[in-house]
A and B are shown apart, each in its own frame.
Chain A
Amino acid sequence: MWKPVHLFAFKKKFDFLRWRKPALILSTLINVVAILAVVFVGLNFGIDFKGGIALQVRAKQGAAAQLDALRATVGGLGVGEVSLQEFGEASTVLIRIQRQEGNAQCVAGAQRVMQKRSSAGWQVKPGAAGTGDVEFTAPQALDGAGWRDAVSRVGLTIVERQLPRGTTATAKVDMSPEQRAEWCQQVAIKAVEDAIGANYDIRGTESVGPKIGDELMMSGIWAVLATMAAIVVYVWFRYEWQFGVGALVAMLHDVITTLGVFVLLQLDFSLTALAAVLTIAGYSINDTVVIFDRVRENMRRYKKLGLIDLLNLSLNETLSRTLMTSGTVFVAVLALVVFGGPVLYSFSIGMLWGVIVGTYSSVWIACAALVYLNLRPDQLRPADEEAAKAKA
């Protein structure tokens, strides 16, 4: 049987806190850059937060996707901004379309969809300006059931009272501008299906209307703030206030730099990415707590040791477990990055960064903060120092 491998089998005496000033400067720089990047460049929000449409399509018979041709086709549909991205393999493309505004182009698109899916005689026109009304003209007169069936081809659900009585060839559907914008998401999906359906299979569709997008954005921000607050309150209850502040600063550091990484790599910031940020906030504390636990223990044991020495001692004692706990999570996340597939990619990259930076910040941010917050006087009286040395 083999023998266990000890990390740092030699007597560890790193003077971690000697590097606290350079680390502080470095971290401040990185954070300032990250904040500036988030403010001025902005996160690459996915449709979860921005609203919009994402279609995952694959070229039929496994052919390589023609990105340029696709871009030209979809871009010409009047659905607004379109972005394409190869997704996992050469035949698969993720088409992202901006959230729909419910404008005249959308109504024109609805007419094309009706003409293609029903018959060429259909006309669709916007109603009076300022409303979201839409007027449909059918090639022949239709009754209630006929109308309902016809307009469902463009993804419109209508109730009976919105229909004209009896059998008619025109129908005006009353909508508010907001309702029309939501409906236009459906129109855009169908327009794309019609335009590229001959050469591509649609593997998955996601559509987030403007209203939900705004709501998710707000609740996402609240979720991040509430999580951080709850964790800090917990640490504050369990430890002295300086530890709470140290943990908070380290956590902010981790969350902000993670956001910076999302901007830098222009990773899709979706709900899963938000999940990564929240998990990092929770996990950032893990290493910190392990170190703080030891610092507190040593504070009781070495009553007269100076703060810097005390912290260095605690850091050295906990070093191998800090590296081991981060290491196990790191290899697990690495497996996600490599094998987890394109859907989880931004989540995995975010987590990978979070694990690394969380370890760094536990040492140089959280512990250094204790120094600046005067957890205990740094320079003790000479007599104490002698005693401390003798004891150590």
Chain B
Amino acid sequence: MLNLPRWQTIVIIAITVLSGLFALPNLLPSNVLDALPHWYSQNRINLGLDLRGGAHFLLEADLRSVLTERLTNLSDSVRADMRKQQVGIKDVTVEPGRAVIVTLRDEAQRTKAIEAIRALDPTLAVSGSGDTIRLAYSEQELFRRKKEVIDQSIEILRRRVDETGTLEPTLVRQGDERILLQVPGIKDTTDLKRKINQTAKLTFHLVNEDVAAAGANIPATLPPTTFLVPTREGMQELRRTNPKAWEDIQAANPRMSPEQICRRYQPQCLPVLKRVVVGGEDLDDSKATFEQQQGGRPIISFTFNSAGGRAFCAATRANIGKRLAIQLDGEIISAPVVQSAICGGSGIITGSFTTQQTQEQALLLRSGALPATLTIIQESTVGADLGADAIQAGTVAALVGTVLVAIVMFVAYGPVFGGFANLAMLVNLLMVFAGMSILGASLTLPGMAGLVLTVGMAVDSNVLIYERVREEKALGRSAFSSIATGYERAMSAIIDANLTTLIAAVLLFGFGSGPIRGFATTLSLGLLTSMFSSTIFTRMLLAVWVRWRRPTELVI
């Protein structure tokens, strides 16, 4: 048991050294870290919001209203369609958030009506009997729609919250209808909440083809009706080639106008008429689809409300062959050529797009408006000084706890055995740090409490082993044999004791959220790594020690 093969010793030492290397960036002062290569020094444990300071929001999307609205639209088109198909209907009602109920005048027309509805939207689940037809979205379709709304909301929030690209917000979907938003380091949540409410400015403008035909990217003079707006590609190009300029633009306060940006940094720009053809508030929806004919090219389709549809119809009829520029927050995201008058309230943008591009563009078009009301159902804000206090309290508690436990072990088991156990405890802490760095887990205040507990529990395995060694020694075994049997016989109790606590920690991880997860993380990591450090690692130390000192009697 104590005669370890050489390869085992090498593996144990390698694991220990690697853990040390992974944990090291967390322990070094920042001036040393700056001198190290970035790929190594960045490998550090994230501090949770409760230590770092920042804001945490749980937002709930009002999907029921979105669904009800969609169903109301559906009921309108069903009504119109039935009239066209000459199916007599008594009534069309909407069951809020659930279904549309169509009541027919004549039961005999049921099959005809259902056929027509299926043609209208094949994803609908049709049920009911006699003269009533119940239309609902299938489970799958419902799930898809909900997911779409949430994903879209997340993208919009990301744009709104992090317009400067410096805040590093975390945005994740939680369950069916929730979004978790975490912004580290901010204190003023009023500003953040206002940003959530902000809408991206989306407008449609006609391109001034006369100016564009002259050929200059940045013409020296412009007619008073026209201004210059950089294109999205142009801005992305500028960001790549001249990041300094891009940063200046982002940081400028007050914000630079599109024309100023064009004149100063000369990205690719387009001259457009100042008059707004249609505003984003009139755009109902846009999505990436495929052309029906001509080989199914990826295209973007969009729908206006009635006011927007009328304005769009008039503008396109008068300007066939000209380009219509779509401006979003001071950038032209697209400028398709008007092919024909678009009067149905909806239209398509064609071009040589990839599927990914159409999806992006459709999302950008939608990003004017949040699809659903978001309610803050949980919020927590921690000021930076409060976080600093928490770090200090946690660190002091951890240090004092570690020192106290180390003293107890030294006193109870002497300099050699106590020393080995304490060394193992330090290795255990390094391994927890390393594990958290690798997993990218966040350290929270309860997480620090978990570390302290781990320190107290990790040495328990050594206690069990050492007590067993004492017993074996009392039975008259030799030094070598007492240690070997001690390790062997203590093992089952060690595994049972660690696993039961581990069960609690893992279940807590599954249940908990936020800071509590931090506790579950450090505790379960600590228990797992202690099985290595307190048993395998100390056994190696003792094996080396026994062979070196060849003690005739153990002082334990």
Contact = CB atoms under 8 A, between A and B. Distances in A.
Interface of A: 1-7, 56, 144-145, 148-149, 151-153, 155-162, 179, 182-183, 185-186, 189, 201-209, 211-212, 219-220, 222-223, 226-227, 230-231, 234-235, 238, 271-272, 274-275, 278-279, 281-283, 285-286, 289-290, 293-294, 317-318, 320-321, 324-325, 327-336, 338-341, 343-344, 347-348, 351
Interface of A is mostly: helix
Given A271-B513, A328-B409, 10 more contacts: A5-B412, A155-B376, A159-B370, A203-B385, A231-B504, A272-B519, A278-B504, A328-B459, A340-B449, A344-B449
Nearest to B400: A335
Contact of B379 (A56, A207, A283): A207
A236 B460 CA distance: 23
Contacts of B194: 149, 152-153
26 contacts: A4-B413, A144-B199, A152-B190, A153-B194, A157-B374, A159-B370, A159-B371, A182-B376, A183-B375, A203-B382, A205-B380, A207-B376, A231-B503, A234-B499, A234-B500, A234-B503, A272-B446, A274-B516, A275-B512, A283-B504, A286-B501, A324-B408, A325-B460, A328-B456, A333-B401, A335-B397
B78 interface: no
Interface residues of B, number: 93
B523 to A, nearest CB: 7
Given A157-B197, A343-B390, A344-B393, A329 B457 contact: yes
Nearest to B153: A159
B266 to A, nearest CB: 31
Interface centre among B408, B453, B470 (most CB of A within 10 A): B453
Contacts of B373: 157-159, 162, 179
Interface in B500-531: 500-505, 507-508, 510-516, 519-520, 523
A332 B455 contact: yes
Nearest to B280: A160
B400 A320 contact: no
Contacts of B409: 328
B445 A344 contact: yes
Interface of B: 50, 58-60, 62, 69, 189-190, 193-194, 196-199, 281, 369-383, 385-386, 389-390, 393-394, 396-398, 400-402, 404-405, 408-409, 411-415, 417-418, 445-446, 449, 452-453, 455-457, 459-460, 463-464, 467, 470-471, 492-493, 496-497, 499-505, 507-508, 510-516, 519-520, 523, 555-556
A272 B516 contact: yes
Contact of B405 (A183, A189, A203, A331): A331
A208 B401 CA distance: 33
A296 to B, nearest CB: 9
Contact of A334 (B404, B413, B417, B513): B404
Contact of B516 (A157, A275, A338): A275
A285 B508 CA distance: 17
A246 B5 CA distance: 42
Interface of B is mostly: helix
Contact of A204 (B380, B463, B511): B380
A286 B460 contact: yes
A279 to B, nearest CB: 6
Contacts of B446: 272, 275, 344, 347
A202 B188 CA distance: 11
Please give me the 5 A-B residue pairs with the lowest Cβ-Cβ distance, nearest first: A282-B504, A332-B456, A341-B393, A335-B401, A329-B456
Nearest to A189: B379
A331 B449 contact: no
A275 B450 CA distance: 10
A21 B72 CA distance: 72
B397 A328 contact: no
B497 A286 contact: yes
Contact of A339 (B380, B383, B396): B396
B145 to A, nearest CB: 16
A1 B415 contact: yes
A326 to B, nearest CB: 9
Interface centre among A234, A238, A336, A338 (most CB of B within 10 A): A336
Interface centre among B405, B409, B471, B523 (most CB of A within 10 A): B405
Nearest to A283: B501
Contact of A328 (B374, B396, B449, B463): B463
Given A158-B197, A179-B375, A212-B378, A336 B464 contact: no
B370 A332 contact: no
Given A227-B507, A282-B504, A335 B377 contact: no
A336 B380 contact: no
B69 A161 contact: yes
B512 to A, nearest CB: 7
Contacts of B455: 332
A157 B196 contact: yes
A336 B401 contact: yes
B199 to A, nearest CB: 7
A204 B383 contact: yes
Contact of B501 (A156, A206, A282): A282
A202 to B, nearest CB: 7
